[in-house]
């Protein structure tokens, strides 16, 4: 959905051009993009259903440039949308036509690797996978591993508190984050945390992780790295019914076993992944679990035996242990290729990420089948079963009239279902614009006002990524309401200086 607006008057054009010239003085050369063709690259993020052209895109290379750009934007009352690699799936980096996109792609250096303190300091544009690759030869890795890890940036991971297939045992971004450098809307540069295990005072790192670019722009990140486990083995477990697979997940966790990863795929996802990358998946199952166990060899051997026994009790029809590192990698290849694989069987798909209590898994999957039939759209399920983080992929055709609206309605019903059973709206993708109008299903007006007061403390003018997360925008001075009509942003064409 693109947004077209009336042409601006000459006075506004002159002020816009003056502002862009001032940006060019801060970030010279090719650091400012203002032509329509160049702006098209930045008109959306991974949630491609909504698009808008920003006023300009700024690509700084130094913290001093970020600080100066933020201060200039604040002085001229121009909104700022931070952007990493653009792989986000909730519209968090959707541009505003009266704001600039601040792209951190040039902040792509690893600044320090400190094995003694088991941490790495990087710029926010470094990809998730690059951190593990940089320390692999020394026997270390960075645990959070989203499916998009080859492309997603660590700054974006901080903004969305990203997880991955190994977050069950090792935690999401916030559990592996030690320190941040961040630029506030005023241009002030602050540092939080560092190499130490913990810091005194308020947990500001916890507040900033998952804040979706509403509080500041991250310019440096220090993360914890872990030694590679001495032994790793994966199990491929097939079931004739998704209820049995869900029961197996619950039994594993109830037994006190915390796998490094515990992922589930339903039959359509299994078939799509097998056709795509030939991972060796069984095609006669209704649900497939991948359970990975790591640690000392003796411990892994015992846990594998225990998980296999639990799977048999849960009526597993397929039981396979990885016999080599290559086979283990193939097990995961299918899971991590599931999203592009589904892209081959449908013109478009819409991925959501509600999270539920594990005990509700079978019930929610059954209700999702009913909702899918009600809305007349297919749903393929690939998700982090161990922590209840669902990733339903709704199949639709954007070229077919009304399909996107039906898809959004189905997505909303699924997310409301997640909240109804005691879950939450997002496990790792964030709220952005995708789920902001569902926030009332999870939070009271009082809850939302308290959250907005935190934003006001960091960004009193409301210039950082406005229109995201909150369904009702409040001014920081009085927290008076300005409603967003039918969940659509009131995008003006140019900044109102």
User: DSSP string spanning 471-492?
Assistant: SEEE-TTT--EEEPGGG-----
Joined together, the tokens standing for residue 114 give: 């400190």
Per-residue pLDDT of the chain (497 residues; tens, 9 = 90+): 655 555 666 777 888 899 999 999 999 999 999 999 999 999 999 998 889 999 999 999 999 999 999 999 999 999 999 999 999 999 999 999 999 999 999 999 999 999 999 999 999 999 999 999 999 999 999 999 998 999 999 999 999 999 999 999 999 999 999 999 999 999 999 999 998 777 778 899 999 999 999 999 999 999 999 999 999 999 999 999 988 998 999 999 999 999 999 999 999 999 999 999 999 999 999 999 999 999 999 999 999 999 999 999 999 999 999 999 999 999 999 998 999 999 999 999 999 999 999 889 889 988 999 999 999 999 999 999 999 999 999 999 999 999 999 999 999 999 999 999 999 999 999 999 999 999 999 999 999 999 999 999 999 999 999 999 998 766 776 554 333 333 333 334 443 33
- Topology agreement, domain 231-340 and domain 348-420: yes
DSSP state of 378: -
Q: What is the pLDDT of residue 200?
A: 76
Q: What is the pLDDT of residue 111?
A: 98
Cβ pair 354, 420 in contact under 8 A: no
State the CATH architecture for 231-340: 2-Layer Sandwich (3.30)
* Strand 261-266, strand 226-227: pairing: unpaired
Q: What is the pLDDT of residue 196?
A: 78
Residue range 110-227, CATH number: 3.30.465.10
The pair phi, psi for residue 82, each rounded to 5°, is: -70, 150
Q: What is the DSSP secondary-structure string of 255-304?
A: TT---SEEEEEEHHHHHHHHHHH-----SS-SEEEEEEEEESHHHHHHHH
How far apart CA 18 and CA 89 sit, in angstroms, is: 34
pLDDT, tens digit, for every residue of 84-108? 999 999 999 999 999 999 999 999 9
How far apart CA 444 and CA 480 sit, in angstroms, is: 16
DSSP state of 389: B
Q: How far is CA 178 from CA 120, 439, 449, 457, in A?
A: 9, 29, 29, 23
Q: How far is CA 405 from CA 26, 112, 243, 411, 484, in A?
A: 42, 47, 30, 10, 18
Element (H, E) at 239: strand 231-239
State the CATH architecture for 348-420: 2-Layer Sandwich (3.30)
Joined together, the tokens standing for residue 299 give: 């411990």
3-class DSSP state of 166: coil
Domain 10-103 falls in which CATH fold?
3.30.43
All residues at 6 or more sequence positions from 459 whose CB lies less than 8 Å from its CB, including other chains: 184, 185, 214, 215, 216, 476
DSSP state of 55: S
Domain range summary for the chain, segments of one domain joined by +: 10-103, 110-227, 231-340, 348-420, 448-486
Q: What is the pLDDT of residue 209?
A: 97
Q: What is the pLDDT of residue 201?
A: 82
How far apart CA 304 and CA 300 sit, in angstroms, is: 6
Cα torsion 205, 210, 215, 219: sign: positive
Cβ pair 94, 432 in contact under 8 A: yes
Element (H, E) at 411: helix 403-420
């Amino acid at each position: 959905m693109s947004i077209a607006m009336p042409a601006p008057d000459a006075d506004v054009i002159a002020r816009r051009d003056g502002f862009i010239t001032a940006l060019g003085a801060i970030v010279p050369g090719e650091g400012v993009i203002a032509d329509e063709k160049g702006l098209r690259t930045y008109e959306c993020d991974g949630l491609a259903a909504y698009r808008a052209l920003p006023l300009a895109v700024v690509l700084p290379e130094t913290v001093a440039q970020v600080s100066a750009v933020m201060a200039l934007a604040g002085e001229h009352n121009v909104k700022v949308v931070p952007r990493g690699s653009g792989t986000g799936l909730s519209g968090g980096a959707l541009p505003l036509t009266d704001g600039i996109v601040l792209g951190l792609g040039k902040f792509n250096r690893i600044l320090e690797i400190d094995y003694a303190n088991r941490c790495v300091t990087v710029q926010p544009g470094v990809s998730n996978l690059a951190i593990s690759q940089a320390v692999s030869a020394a026997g270390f890795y960075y645990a959070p591993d989203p499916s998009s890890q080859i492309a997603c940036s660590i700054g974006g991971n901080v903004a969305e508190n990203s997880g991955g297939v190994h977050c069950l045992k090792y935690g999401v971004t916030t559990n592996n984050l030690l320190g941040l450098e961040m630029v506030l809307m005023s241009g002030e540069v602050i540092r939080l945390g560092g190499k130490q295990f913990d810091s005194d005072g308020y947990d500001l790192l916890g507040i900033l992780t998952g804040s979706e670019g509403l509080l500041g722009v991250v310019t440096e990140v220090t993360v914890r790295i872990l030694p590679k486990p001495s032994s790793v083995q994966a199990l491929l477990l097939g079931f004739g019914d998704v209820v049995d697979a869900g029961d197996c997940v619950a039994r594993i966790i109830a037994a006190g076993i915390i796998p490094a990863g515990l992922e589930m795929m339903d039959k359509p996802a299994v078939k799509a992944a097998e056709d795509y990358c030939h991972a060796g998946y069984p095609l006669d199952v209704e649900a497939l679990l991948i359970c990975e166990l790591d640690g000392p060899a003796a411990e892994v051997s015992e846990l594998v035996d225990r998980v296999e026994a639990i799977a048999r009790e849960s009526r597993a029809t397929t039981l396979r242990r990885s016999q080599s590192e290559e086979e283990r990698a193939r097990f995961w290849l299918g899971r991590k290729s599931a999203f592009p694989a589904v892209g081959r069987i449908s013109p478009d798909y819409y991925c959501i990420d509600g999270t539920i209590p594990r005990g509700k898994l079978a019930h929610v999957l059954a209700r999702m089948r009913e909702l899918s039939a009600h809305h007349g759209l297919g749903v393929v399920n690939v998700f982090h079963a161990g922590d209840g983080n669902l990733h339903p992929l709704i199949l639709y055709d954007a070229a077919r009239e009304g399909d996107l609206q039906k898809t959004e309605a189905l997505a909303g019903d699924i997310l409301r279902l997640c909240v109804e059973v005691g879950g939450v709206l997002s496990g790792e993708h964030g709220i952005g614009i995708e789920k902001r109008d569902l926030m009332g299903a999870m939070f009271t007006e009082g809850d939302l006002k308290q959250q907005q007061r935190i934003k006001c403390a960091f960004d009193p003018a409301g210039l950082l990524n406005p229109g995201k997360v909150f369904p009702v925008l409040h001014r920081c001075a009085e927290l008076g309401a300005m409603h967003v009509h039918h969940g659509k942003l009131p995008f003006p064409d140019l900044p109102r200086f």
